A and B are shown apart, each in its own frame.
Chain A
C-alpha cells in the first residue's frame, strides 16, 4: 500500500519566515509533486521532480523552491513566507510511466 506522509498537518508561520514542508513516500516512486489547494481553484501544481536532484516548475512556482536529495523525500521551501501563501499544501508521488498519483494528507499552512 502506497504511503505518502507529510511532516505536519497544521503549521502557523509569520510573514518573512523561511518555511520547509517535507514529504516522504515509501513506494520507490520516481516522480514527486507539490500542489496547493485553494477553495474554488482546485489543485495547482507548484513544482515536480522526476528524479533525484531533478526538478521542474509547475504552473505557480513563484515564491517557492524545492529540494530532492533522496528519492523518497521531496521538500517544498517558502524562502520568505507571505500571507498569500496561506493554503493547503499537498504532496503526491507516482511511478515512472504511470499516471496515477498518490497523495499525502496535506499540510494546512497559515501565514500571519
Chain B
C-alpha cells in the first residue's frame, strides 16, 4: 500500500529554471512532511520539512507548498543549479506515542539540471 505517492519519477530542468516535485498522501494522521535529498553514493539527507499548521515554508531556493485539504505537498527549487542534480524523496510521519516516529517515503524523483 503506497501511502505517499510521488511524481514525476524523473525530471530534467535547465539551469536557472524551476523544478517542481509533487507528493500526495492518504493518511490524514500524518503531521510531518520532510523532503530528503540524496546524491549518488550517499545516504539521504534532510533538505526541508513542514508541518500542516502552515501552507508554505521557504529555505533559500527551496520551498515546500502544503495543501491540507487536497492532501498534497510539493517541493519547488527556484533557480535550479547543476549541483541540485540528485534524487529527491518526500516523506510523511505521524506522532507515535511510546515508540519511534517512522517515516513513510515516496518513490523518489531523479532530478537532472542541465547547463
Residue numbers of A with Cβ under 8 A of B are 4, 30-31, 33, 35, 40-45, 48-50, 56, 58, 90, 92, 94, 96, 98-106
Q: Which residues of A contact B49 (CB under 8 A)?
A: 99-100
Contact B41 A42 (CB under 8 A): no
CB of B46 within 8 Å of the partner chain: yes
Given contacts A48-B102, A101-B103, contact A92 B46 (CB under 8 A): no
Q: C-beta contact mask, B28-46 vs A, less than 8 Å → 1, else 0?
A: 0000101010000111111
Given contacts A40-B107, A99-B32, A99-B49, contact A45 B41 (CB under 8 A): no
Given contacts A99-B93, A103-B45, contact A42 B102 (CB under 8 A): no
B29–chain A nearest beta-carbon distance, Å = 14
**Number of residues from B at the complex interface, CB < 8 A:** 24
Given contacts A42-B6, A99-B49, contact A58 B102 (CB under 8 A): yes
Contact of B42 among A98, A101, A105 (CB under 8 A): A105
Residue numbers of B with Cβ under 8 A of A are 6, 9, 32, 34, 36, 41-46, 49, 89, 93, 99-108
Contact A94 B6 (CB under 8 A): no
Contact of B44 among A43, A45, A49, A56 (CB under 8 A): A43
Q: Which residues of A contact B6 (CB under 8 A)?
A: 42
Q: Which residues of B contact A42 (CB under 8 A)?
A: 6, 89, 105-108
Complex CA distance for A58 and B101, rounded to whole angstroms: 12
The 4 closest A-B pairs by CB, nearest first: A103-B43, A31-B100, A42-B107, A50-B100
